[in-house]
Amino acid sequence: MHFHNHQTKKSLGQHFLHDHGVVEKIILAVAPKPGDRIVEIGPGQGALTLPLLNKHGALTAIEFDRDLLEPLTAAARDVGELTLIAADVLNVDFTTLANGEPIRLVGNLPYNMSSPILFHALNHAAAVRDMHFMLQKEVVDRMAADPGSKVYGRLSVMLQAYCEVTPLFDVAPGAFRPPPKVDSAVVRLVPRPADRIGVDDPARLAAVVRAAFGQRRKTLRNALQHVADTAMIEAAGLRPDARAEQIEVAGFIRLANLPVT
Ligand code: SAM
């Protein structure tokens, strides 16, 4: 699918997928089941939208670029029931949209906004059954990294605290028009059930993790100076002279759950 007179907008991260093999792999990974409520972020020219609609019959899609709405609506008309929301996805309240029936998020995301979109989805994790996103490969590597890895950091801890993160496959720049400068990868995120997360105060966890990785070369004792003292670090079962990149997700959760003294 190619909308002939559409002027690609770099500022909106527009790189349109044109490799049918990749589209097919994403749809196989999503594996829509009857009754699933699928919500696509950034349908663009419909590379994923139309095949998903064809397979599933109905779909909601959130697109910011108003120039794409009319051609997308026209392209979808004979394929299935497309509900288009013309909005910045960051202003869409997924909890309201889900209305008690968790949604499945899908999207080849605008790379310049991938972190805000991921954190926005996390804020609505209870309303989201799972997510399948195309992102920069480098971001997927950071999301899925384990302690000890050079790329283990705030994104790894914050996502893994709330979701199971599974990288699925890599995608080369040539699969898109125009091609991005970087490699891409598709990742699956499955929010953990609320009773399995164990984070007492999400804002506190965010503050601890931000401080710990804000100065990743420092020891925990120094990096956490303003958020937790040595006694607390020890009470969480962590070594004050360890560095943030060595601490597993559960360690950060234990520390954040301690009462602040
Ligand atoms: N899904 C299409 C594809 O695979 O070819 C387009 C993917 S393109 C990488 C990202 C899409 O997200 C574009 O259509 C862009 O206009 C849209 N977009 C960018 N910022 C957005 C935002 N804040 N809210 C919703 N959509 C946005």
Who lines ligand 1 at CB under 6 A? 12-17, 41-45, 47-48, 62-65, 88-90, 108, 110, 113
- What confidence score (pLDDT) does residue 244 get? 96
The mean per-residue pLDDT over the stretch 135-164 comes to 97
- Strand 81-86: give its sheet, edge to edge: 81-86, 58-63, 38-41, 103-108, 128-136, 184-191, 163-171
Cα gap 70→89, rounded to integer Å? 18
Burial class from Cβ neighbours inside 10 Å (0-12, 13-18, 19+) for residue 5 reads exposed
Summarised one tens digit per residue, pLDDT across range 185-232 is 999 999 998 778 889 999 999 999 999 999 878 999 999 999 999 999
The mean per-residue pLDDT over the stretch 31-57 comes to 97
Longest CA span, the chain: 65
The mean per-residue pLDDT over the stretch 52-71 comes to 96
Whether a cis peptide bond, with omega within 30° of 0, leads into 167 is no
pLDDT more than 90, % of the chain: 91
The mean per-residue pLDDT over the stretch 119-141 comes to 96
Q: Cα of 261 to ligand 1 centre, how many Å?
A: 45
- What confidence score (pLDDT) does residue 186 get? 98
Q: Cα of 66 to ligand 1 centre, how many Å?
A: 11
pLDDT more than 70, % of the chain: 98
**Closest residue by Cα to residue 76 from 106, 100, 54:** 54
Name the residue of 6, 7, 14 to mutate for ligand 1: max ligand atoms within 8 A of Cβ: 14
Gyration radius of the chain's alpha carbons: 20
Instruction: Check whether 12 has a pLDDT greater than 70.
Output: yes
Average pLDDT score over the chain? 95
End-to-end C-alpha distance for the chain, whole angstroms: 59
Q: Cα of 203 to ligand 1 centre, how many Å?
A: 29
Instruction: Check whether 1 has a pLDDT greater than 80.
Output: no
Identify the band that residue 4 occupies on the pLDDT scale cut at 50, 70 and 90: low
Contact residues for 60 (Cβ-Cβ < 8 A; gap 6+): 37, 38, 39, 40, 82, 83, 84, 85, 97, 103
Name the residue of 59, 64, 109 to mutate for ligand 1: max ligand atoms within 8 A of Cβ: 64
Q: Detail the DSSP E strand segments found in the chain.
A: 16-17, 38-41, 58-63, 81-86, 103-108, 128-136, 163-171, 176-177, 184-191
- What confidence score (pLDDT) does residue 204 get? 96
| CB 239 within 8 Å of CB 260 | no
Q: Cα of 65 to ligand 1 centre, how many Å?
A: 8
Atom of ligand 1 nearest to the CA of 176: 5
Q: Cα of 151 to ligand 1 centre, how many Å?
A: 26
Tell me, what amino acid is at 174? G
More confident residue, 106 or 197: 106
Query: Which domains are delineated in the chain?
Result: 3-196 (3.40.50.150), 202-257 (1.10.8.100)
Q: Cα of 252 to ligand 1 centre, how many Å?
A: 34
Identify the band that residue 7 occupies on the pLDDT scale cut at 50, 70 and 90: confident
Nearest CA to ligand 1 atom 21: 64
Identify the band that residue 2 occupies on the pLDDT scale cut at 50, 70 and 90: low
Cα gap 148→158, rounded to integer Å? 16
